[in-house]
Amino acid sequence: MPVSYCPLHPADERIAIITAAFHSDPHRFARSAVAQAPDGRLHAAITYWIRMIRDAAGVPRRVAHIWGVGTPADAADVVRQQHADQLIEWVLQAARQEHCELALFYPAAETCAHYAKRGWRLFPNRYRQGRFSGIQLPTTEAYSIRSYDPTHESGGWLRLVAVYDAYNATRPATVVRDEAYWRDYLSWRWGEWSALGSSSLLVATRVDTTQTLCGYIIPKYYDDTFIIVEIAVVPSAPAALPMLVTGVLEEAAQRGVADHFRIYLPSDPQIDPWATQLFTPAPQVGEYGAHAVYPLREITPAELAAMFTVPGSHSWLLDQF
């Protein structure tokens, strides 16, 4: 039975895109397409957002961030993969018309080789993990750490904007997050975790100006482990970094979570000295998934690789889907 590849119709929205994040883009229908049978059944769907992601020099690049390319189960379905390939080609053409320089998505591990053969560059994400060494991280009386619920605090998510921007102003591979992105997409993403009781948010403030946030950290808890998915401080408060991590370690202990955990943090001179001491005997370095990146404008392979591999480059877990 022939299948047509066409823009997503509003009537099919609930069937095709199963995520509230889809609604964060007012241009979502123009940026979405489906593989549709003559009887109206949808075999596959795809959408993309326009993001600004920093290159190796910290310069924002316009990127088409794709969602809906399949799951591990889909990877074994040849027909489904063919539909995904056709829809991705549609996105690449549409993204060029929107003056994007790159396209990006996070493929299932089972499909990485397939996309590499089709010209996509793959850059693995990295983490550090191990058993907690019991070390007491450096502290200072200048800062205090407390819980922060952006759904109830005055200013909500927007109080974190300046902290994130300051910490990632020139960091390669990071998303340039505007206020709408925080308010709509990130609040939804974190809200899913928080509703299950699996995530919290801690902030650092100066003891003499407790209303001004100078740092934050986001952990995610599981039954037998936990991960640290994001951290940021303003340039004047590097001493708050280890204190935020200590706050998470204390919360994990209160939850009775095992002391074997992962950190998804960049390799950074402000982090590495104490991050290495967190684990015993030494942190294990691993990889999870990969960025699949496709150039849409003139950019050399070396420039593209540098964007995701130079020291300090990092893609925060909350921005990946």
Q: In which residue are the tokens 């706050």 written?
A: 247
The values of phi and psi at residue 214, to 5°, are -120, 5
**Based on the number of CB atoms within 10 Å of its own CB, is 158 exposed (0-12), middle (13-18) or buried (19 or more)?**
exposed
What sign has the CA pseudo-torsion 108, 127, 183, 53?
Answer: negative
Say what the pLDDT of residue 72 is: 63
Domain 4-119 has CATH 1.10.287.40: no
Number of C-beta neighbours around residue 236 at 10 A: 10
Distance CA 203, CA 166 (A): 15
Would you give per-residue pLDDT tens digits along the chain (321 residues)? 588 888 777 766 666 554 556 677 788 888 988 888 888 777 888 889 999 999 999 999 999 999 877 666 666 788 888 888 999 999 999 999 999 999 999 988 888 899 999 999 999 999 999 999 999 999 999 999 999 999 889 888 889 999 999 999 999 999 999 988 898 888 888 887 877 778 899 999 999 887 889 999 999 999 999 999 999 999 999 999 999 999 999 999 999 998 899 999 999 999 999 998 999 999 999 998 889 999 998 889 999 999 999 999 999 999 987
Distance CA 168, CA 71 (A): 31
128-287, what's its fold? Aminopeptidase (3.40.630)
Taking Cα atoms as reference points, which of 249, 237, 241 lies closest to residue 208? 237
Q: In which residue are the tokens 């986001």 written?
A: 218
Domain ranges of the chain: 4-119, 128-287
Number of C-beta neighbours around residue 52 at 10 A: 15
Say if residues 70 and 84 touch (Cβ distance below 8 Å).
yes
Say if residues 158 and 137 touch (Cβ distance below 8 Å).
no
Q: Is the pTM of this model over 0.85?
A: yes
Q: Is the peptide bond before 281 cis (omega within 30 degrees of 0)?
A: yes
Distances (CA, A) of 162 to 1, 146, 260, 268, 304: 53, 18, 32, 20, 28
